[in-house]
Structure 1
Amino acid sequence: MALDPILEVTNLTQQFRSGDKKLTVLDHVDFSVEEGTTCSIVGPSGSGKTTLLGLCAGLDRPTTGEVTLNGVQLGPLNEDQRAAVRNKHVGFVFQTFQLVPTLTALENVMVPLELRGVKTSEVQRDAEELLTQVGLADRMSHYPSQLSGGEQQRVAIARAFINKPKILFADEPTGNLDSETGATIEELLFDLNKARGTTLILVTHDLSLAEQCQRIIRLKNGQIHKDEWIDNPTAEQVQ
């Protein structure tokens, strides 16, 4: 049974000026992602992967085309309105963790809901539960500088799920980790995503990580080169 799309990308083009030349990073990209599915975006460096992820999340505006996220067209929205959509519907996991160095692990996880105005007592309870789920029950009061790379990414994952996002964007989530730690983070990311029914879209150079998703979109020269559902025994494919 087909599900409704939570993300729709229509005729998306992104161009930048490079001197007196126009550089096309994305060239008329079209695709949609169904709610609750997992999708990876792969391709060589410079193929437009991270640019596409940023446009899908409303972090930037395309030169032409439209992105519809959870039924909301992002094009007509101003920066504050797009930020409100992200805070309500979107979670992020970055390669560089993006934790606030002056906040503890617990405080970092609490930030998205505090920005939304949720009561501190409720936010703290949810944040403590998530940090426990990611194996950091005894590290909540530690600052990022006191945590290993893998522990920092666990905090980032907990923060990404604190607002119960409809869709999670992950940009090279294991790129700064050794292979053993990266494998642990991958398992944690997929387990949490499945448990909470979140749509996952991730950008990666790691084909083994990409193949854990139900679908792989391959970019080349700013265009979709191949878009395939894969035979993944660990994921239920949408028919």
Structure 2
Amino acid sequence: MENILNIRNVSKIYQSAGQGLTVLDNINFSIAPASTVAITGPSGSGKTTLLGLCAGLDRASSGTVELNGIALEKLSEDERAAVRNQYVGFIFQNFQLLPTLTALENVMVPLELRGAKNIKSVAMELLDKVGLADRAQHYPVQLSGGEQQRVSLARAFSNQPAILFADEPTGNLDAETSEKIIRLIFDLNRDAGTTLVIVTHDLELAARTGRTIKIKGGAIFSDENVSYA
């Protein structure tokens, strides 16, 4: 089975005041389809930068990022956006919902971009799955943090992504709400057969995935598979 993601000799160097700051240094790993992976590490270790490179939100300074068999470094900005829209779902710490759109409309956006059919009914079904069918016409400002994250979850799964990237998905939520969101992420992910990659400093959350990649000082410190025998 082909890997959904291949990272080969990837480095990221930012130029600052005429000097190069190496954030990621020669990263290598692959991820199999339908697997669950956590990327962990201290603040400033490069894990969010790595997530951005994996998802095609940014370009590596060197090396190759292959997503679903597509070499991202060869693509233009528009072509990478098209790949993201077709294959990738996102969940962010700060939700990133569009404030002028209702919950339902936020979930419909990726479907509209893909030219999907029956987008309203599909979006409503997803909101129902995350327990928010009765909040469909509410705007983000009218929703709690946990409700906003559930809307972003429904939106992330709306285009049936091959791979879902979650960047500190519970970072802005209290413990009880976090637990509900985590359960939803894994339940939706299992039902959809999506590959799940979570960036987190929460080791309990990382322990729920099948594999943990630890980043330290811009390099892979350890890469461990967990067996659920």
TM-score, normalization by structure 1: 0.94
Task: Please say if 1:47 is aligned against 2:55.
Answer: no
Could you say what secondary structure the match of 1:75 adopts? helix
Residue in structure 1 matched with residue 33 of structure 2 by the alignment: 35
Cα deviation code 1:155-177 (max 9, x no counterpart): 00000000000000000000000
Residue in structure 1 matched with residue 219 of structure 2 by the alignment: 223
Contact 1:67 1:75 in 2 (8 A): yes
Residue in structure 2 matched with residue 67 of structure 1 by the alignment: 65
Residue in structure 1 matched with residue 113 of structure 2 by the alignment: 115
CA distance in 2, matches of 1:4, 1:172: 27
Could you say what secondary structure the match of 2:13 adopts? strand
Greater Cα shift, 30-39 or 17-26? 17-26
How far 1:22 moved relative to its partner? 1.0
Could you say what secondary structure the match of 2:191 adopts? helix
Contact 1:211 1:232 in 2 (8 A): no
Task: Please say if 1:211 is aligned against 2:225.
Answer: no
Which letter maps to 1:164? Q
Contact 1:212 1:232 in 2 (8 A): no
How far 1:232 moved relative to its partner? 4.2
How far 1:15 moved relative to its partner? 0.2
TM-score, normalization by structure 2: 0.98
1:150-229 equivalences under 5 Å are: 150-229=146-225
Could you say what secondary structure the match of 2:97 adopts? coil
Residue in structure 2 matched with residue 97 of structure 1 by the alignment: 95
How far 1:20 moved relative to its partner? 2.7
Structure 2: segments with no counterpart, 5+ residues: none
Cα deviation code 1:209-235 (max 9, x no counterpart): 0010000000011000000002446xx
Which letter maps to 1:113? L
CA distance in 1, matches of 2:193, 2:227: 20
Which letter maps to 1:84? A
Task: Please say if 1:10 is aligned against 2:38.
Answer: no
Which letter maps to 2:108? M
Matched positions, count: 229
CA distance in 2, matches of 1:54, 1:4: 22
How far 1:147 moved relative to its partner? 0.2
Contact 1:213 1:232 in 2 (8 A): no
Which letter maps to 1:56? C
CA distance in 2, matches of 1:92, 1:158: 10
CA distance in 2, matches of 1:58, 1:230: 27
Structure 1: segments with no counterpart, 5+ residues: 234-239
How far 1:117 moved relative to its partner? 1.9
Task: Please say if 1:138 is aligned against 2:123.
Answer: no
Greater Cα shift, 135-144 or 18-27? 18-27
How far 1:199 moved relative to its partner? 0.1
Cα deviation code 1:89-144 (max 9, x no counterpart): 0000000000000000000000001012224xx11111000000000010000000
CA distance in 1, matches of 2:10, 2:147: 36
CA distance in 1, matches of 2:160, 2:36: 16
How far 1:19 moved relative to its partner? 1.3
Over aligned residue pairs, what C-alpha RMSD do you find?
0.9
